[in-house]
Structure formats: C-alpha cells, structure tokens
Structure 1
C-alpha cells in the first residue's frame, strides 16, 4: 500500500468514485469504526482500551473475597511496621487495598494515559499524513479518518496489553513506577497466589514479601517529593523523542480489515516505534535506568533488612524478583511495546550493594538523606564503584535548595494529575535534554 492509496482501493482507473456502492460501503464501515474515536479528545480511544481489557479478564477474574482482602490488608500493615526500624522515611501508606484484576485496570489506567499519550500522539499524527491532499478533498469531513484509525489501533493494542498485565502484576508499584493513586498500597491476591504456586513458595511469604516491597515504594514516593514527577517526567521525555516509522505505519494499516476490528489486535507496534539515538534520548534513558536501579536497589535493601530471618524463603524470593525485573516481566514488555522503552533497572545488584555500603558507613539516616535532592543521588559511574562513591562524601550544604523548594511550593498550590501527584507540566519533571538535576549530574 502506498501513501497515494492508504485505503487499498484500486486506483488504476483514477480516484475512486464516492458514489460507487462498494466505495460507500467501505467508507461507511470506516466511519462507523471511527465514530467513537473521533468524538473523543486525545490520541487514544481509552474507552475502547478499558472495555477490551475488562472484557478479556472478566471471565477469569476470581475477584477478591473477604478472606483474601483481610490477608492482603493485614500483610500491608504488618509490612509497614517491619519497615519502621530500617528507614528514616515514615509510612507512605494512607490506604491498604486488595485489588481484583478488574480493579487493577480501573485504578491504573489514568497513569497509563500519561505514559502512553506522547507516543500515541505522534503515531496518530503520522497516520493522518497518509491521506493525500486530493483524497482529503473527496472525503470532506471524513478526511481525519486515519487519525481516528490510529486512535482505535492504539486503544485496541493498549486494551490487549492491559488485559495481559492484569493477570500477571502483583502490586501497584512492581515496576518501580507508581501506577495507582498516591498512598494507596495494593496487592492483587489472585496473582500472588498463582505466583507462589508457580514457584513452589509459601503463599503467605510471597504475600508478605510483596507487601514489604509495596510499602517501601510508597514510603519513598511519599516522602521524596520530587521523585514521582521526576520518574514519570523522564519516561515522558523519552517517549516524546520516539521516532515513528512511516513505512511501518503504512504496512500496519494495510493489514487492517475495517469489517473485522479484531485485526488491529494482532499488530506489532514495536515495529512502528523506533528509538531515536539523539543526545536528548540518550540522556533521558541514562537518567531513567539509573534512577530505576537506585529505587529498586533501595527497596530491595530495606526489605531485606526488615524481613531478616522472619521469611525463611527470603533468598529465593529476592532472587526470583531480581531475575523477573532483569529479564523483563510483563510490565516491562508492555512498556517496550507501547512506549518504545525497555523499562529495566540495569545494574540492580550493584545498586543493592551501594545502599548496603552506604548504610554501613553513614547509618540509616545518612543513607536516606541522599534522597533529599536529585543532585545527591549516585550516578551510573557510582554504581560501578560503590566504595569510591561512599567514601567520596556528600554535603547538603553544597546544594542550592532554594529553587527546588520554590518549585515544590508552586506544585502544591497547582492542580495535580489524576494520580494525585504533580502533573506532567511540573517544574520537577525533566524535559528533553535537561541534565542538570538528574541523577547522572556530576556532583
């Protein structure tokens, strides 16, 4: 299919006659399929994504009964108590919840909107450019039909991905990014039970270990005020620089049968999204990989300290989780498909070692003080030489906190995003090419 013929019509005899019954039928089918999308704002038909995801998991979602809910909430509360002696950061949990798979979809979709919209916007615009000018004149009001198709395509792909994730994820913060509401710690009992069975581990130990990780993540994101906007903003900065392969978009559209919407679910968006090797992309990726490793390493370290000998299966649980992250679990694979980004905390083991050494050298409060400002965080080089970084020292007095404090005041007085944190326009969110406040900044 060429850009002169985005709908696959036979143009050997010239442009198709809009009065031709076959042409009218084809256009009517497209119009019907796009109607929902073109009436919605934004690049993704999120209503379709949510409906597809919910329909896919509803039949196999066991829900959450009273016993499972009680066990989940008690595990989260106990985990929070265990964490108290291991970190100077107080509890960040304002609500303990047990989610069904349908609950996970409902409670995380707002964050997925923020993460996926930058890429979807580019793809939808690229599809709109496939319609030649002379055909736009013929189509009239339907000239934006390809943009509507792009919205449906992304919505279909996202719905399919969310359905798969809903059956795999164990908590709301499993990948190091808070997908749910601020302060709402959540476990997914059905998935925890399946995970324990698959790895022949006691369900109660799996539940407590994941509750510890969930509660630790919430402490970090609640009491490190710049972190949430920083991480989400870095993902957005990377996604905004993604290159859309026009020829791949063209090929993808050619595979769609407007009379069979399910043909959109088999498309491989990873062939359309191409990482761009620009300085801004490299900087965003470096920031993200480093900060994700530091988050995961800190959580793993404090969880290990809190669990101690209380969980006999702790070594197996920690090793399995590290392998799951390093190999790219279901959430990481979804990011690679929909955001064009491999969301893996590279050098996780080195980060765990660094936090342990820093605790030995400076104690719990000295370790956690590093989170007070992004310029204090270890950089990628420090992960390779934790002893050198720990002995190098840092001094909060050397950091000019005035601008940072003012930006926090502005954020607290402005509207917040759907997740309860700073919106995507936050002063704390790094933009493309900004490196001065990143974890890789030289101290």
Structure 2
C-alpha cells in the first residue's frame, strides 16, 4: 500500500529540530516528574468533586514526557489513524514506487517540522488516537519553561496546568461515547471528500502549508483550505462545536477550582493570558495556519457558554450535555446558552 508519510523520517526530523529544553539538573528533572504525577492525582480529585463526573474506565497513569517523546507519541497516534484513511482514499491504487518514496519522504520532513514546532509549545494533551481510552501527556520541559518565563510559583502553576488537562481526561473517560464520536467525526470528514486521490493531494498540501509557514511568516493560507465540500463543512462545524465545548469546560473548571486550591491563581491567569496573546511574527503565523488562533478563541467562547449554561441550570443540568451526541451544543448555540437550555431541558 502507498505510504502517505515516511513516519520514521517524521520522527527523526521532529527529534532533530525540537528546541532544547530549559536547563535543569538531574535532581530538578526528577522532582518535576514526581511533582507532575502527584499533582495530576490531586487535580483528579478536585475535578471529580467540582464537576460531578467520574471515569467509567480504568485510567492509564499520566505520562510525563519531554519534547521528543511528545512528538513520538503523536506521530504514533497519527500513523494509527491516517494509515487506514489513506488506504480507503487510495482504494488500493499504487502511485508507483518512485512517486510514493519521494512524496512520503517530503511529507515526512514537513510533518516532522510541524511537530517539532508544536513540541516546544504544548504544555499538556489528552492523546486519543493511539488507543483506548487515550492517555494524558504532560510536557515537562515546556511547563518548566513557561513557569520560569512568567515567574510563577512552580507548584501553583503545575497544579493549574494539571487541572486543565485532567478535565480533558475526565471528559473522555467519564463519557463512554466521547472518544468514538470524535474519531467517527474525523472519519466522516474524510468520507465527505470529493474523491480519494484529490483528498490525498489536499492533505499533502495541507501539511506543506504548515511547514512553509515556518519559513514564510507572511503566508495567509490556513488549514481550513483543506476543506472542500459542504459535507466536510458540516463535519467541521460539529468538530468545532465539540472542541469549543471541551476547551471551554476545561477553562471553566480551572477557574472554578483554582481559587480554592491555588493561592496565586489570579496572577498566573493574567500572566499566562498575556503570554498567549503575544508572540513574534513567526509564532503568530504558525498559530494562524495551525488554527491555534481559533483554539484561543475557543477557550474564551467555550468558557462563556459553559458559564452561561451553569448559571441557568447548575452543574447537574450542564452535565446533560454529555448524555449523547444529540445533547452536544450546535455551533450556533455556543453564543446562545438559552437556545441550548431550551432544546435540551424543555
């Protein structure tokens, strides 16, 4: 079968290009890992008590990673998802060994370049592609680097990050259908394309777009240019609504729990928000192309929606949102909590 990405080359590229982490001694590094594991457990108790949600499956222990390991885990997850999709899109057609080798190696370098960039930005992630039920990753070098840059109390900042990421783990492990629904929507996006070969080429071009933005901050192209059909737009609307809800819910929980357990939370939030909004031209270009700017808006819009629903129907009423895919908010409801409450509660 044709190989869309040379995954080994992607991993090697990501490892070679990943930024060097902050300077820490072996003892400091060991302490950071120990702290993050303990604070993940502490955060889990706070999140469960605040949200009323509890995991319905056995939860794997948190995995504290460095930047190269983060890239490797994500490459493995992408390989697991993209491989079957490429097989379906190509319908068994072979492009020829030379075209396959050249194309997959080019895409491998491009994908590795993008993952190297992201590996230096992501603080934590609930990774769902690699296997059931998913795994919580905490990127230790980035957490230490940011807490130093904003001069935050280390324990407070680490617990603050853990609250956000553990909320994502809770969303996927306390709602039995969530992971399958998300992966199904990714599949639906591909199924809605206008032909396999054309979609494969657009996917390649999308990866190239991300890579090019690293060397050309003036690029105005975004990943939304991969969207080509009304069917894909409908799927993207559902995915956008889902991700806005999940990010907003995590922000809402952070802000709800934080003041009770993190003494310096107000200072951390203010400094972190300023850092989110700043950035050099290259970083701003990558945020736009990767859709991170959209994600930053999702934090604010989603939190406002969750707050609005909670204000109207309380936490138990809000949690009806997780009853089934039919009770998830529609894109147009995110700006109108009353519309969701009317549809689901009446």
TM-score, normalization: structure 2?
0.75
Of the three residues 47, 52, 75, the one matched with 1:83 is: 47
**Aligned-partner Cα distance in 2 for 1:332–1:108:** 22
**Aligned-partner Cα distance in 2 for 1:86–1:331:** 35
Local SS of the residue matching 1:98: strand
* 1:48 matched residue in structure 2: 9
**Larger Rg computed on CA atoms:** 1
* 1:147 matched residue in structure 2: 100
Is residue 217 of structure 1 aligned with residue 183 of structure 2? no
Task: Encode CA deviations 1:362-411: one digit per residue, 9 max, x unaligned.
Answer: 3322221220101112212222221343355427xxxxxxxxxxxxxxxx
* 1:369 matched residue in structure 2: 320
* Structure 2 unmatched runs, 5+: none
- Is the contact made by 1:221 and 1:227 (CA closer than 8 Å) also made in structure 2? yes
* 1:98 matched residue in structure 2: 64
Distance 1:239 1:117, change over 3 A: farther
Q: CA deviation at 1:317?
A: 4.2
Distance 1:301 1:342, change over 3 A: closer
Local SS of the residue matching 1:89: coil
Deviates more, 1:116-125 or 1:365-374: 116-125
* 1:185 matched residue in structure 2: 136
Local SS of the residue matching 1:302: helix
Is residue 314 of structure 1 aligned with residue 265 of structure 2? yes
**Aligned-partner Cα distance in 2 for 1:245–1:218:** 31
Q: CA deviation at 1:118?
A: 8.1
Q: CA deviation at 1:321?
A: 6.1
- Is the contact made by 1:290 and 1:345 (CA closer than 8 Å) also made in structure 2? no
* 2:18 matched residue in structure 1: 57
- Is the contact made by 1:43 and 1:121 (CA closer than 8 Å) also made in structure 2? no
- Is the contact made by 1:332 and 1:343 (CA closer than 8 Å) also made in structure 2? no
- Is the contact made by 2:22 and 2:144 (CA closer than 8 Å) also made in structure 1? no
* 2:232 matched residue in structure 1: 281
Distance 1:316 1:117, change over 3 A: farther
Q: What is the alpha-carbon root mean square deviation over aligned residues? A: 4.4
Local SS of the residue matching 1:172: strand
Task: Encode CA deviations 1:195-239: one digit per residue, 9 max, x unaligned.
Answer: 122233333222111101111111110121222232233344435
- Is the contact made by 1:298 and 1:352 (CA closer than 8 Å) also made in structure 2? yes
Q: How does 1:21-420 map to 2 (within 5 A)?
A: 42-57=3-18, 65-91=29-55, 93-114=59-80, 143-173=96-126, 178=128, 182=133, 184-238=135-189, 241=193, 274-315=225-266, 317-318=268-269, 333=286, 336=289, 344=295, 346-391=297-342, 393-394=344-345
Task: Encode CA deviations 1:264-290: one digit per residue, 9 max, x unaligned.
Answer: x9799x699943442112101211111
Distance 1:302 1:95, change over 3 A: same
TM-score, normalization: structure 1?
0.60
Q: CA deviation at 1:330?
A: 7.4
Distance 1:43 1:229, change over 3 A: same
**Aligned-partner Cα distance in 1 for 2:270–2:319:** 24
Higher helix share: 2
**Aligned-partner Cα distance in 1 for 2:83–2:138:** 27
Local SS of the residue matching 1:90: coil
* Structure 1 unmatched runs, 5+: 1-39, 130-142, 254-262, 396-443
Q: CA deviation at 1:100?
A: 1.7
Distance 1:301 1:341, change over 3 A: closer
**Aligned-partner Cα distance in 1 for 2:224–2:251:** 32
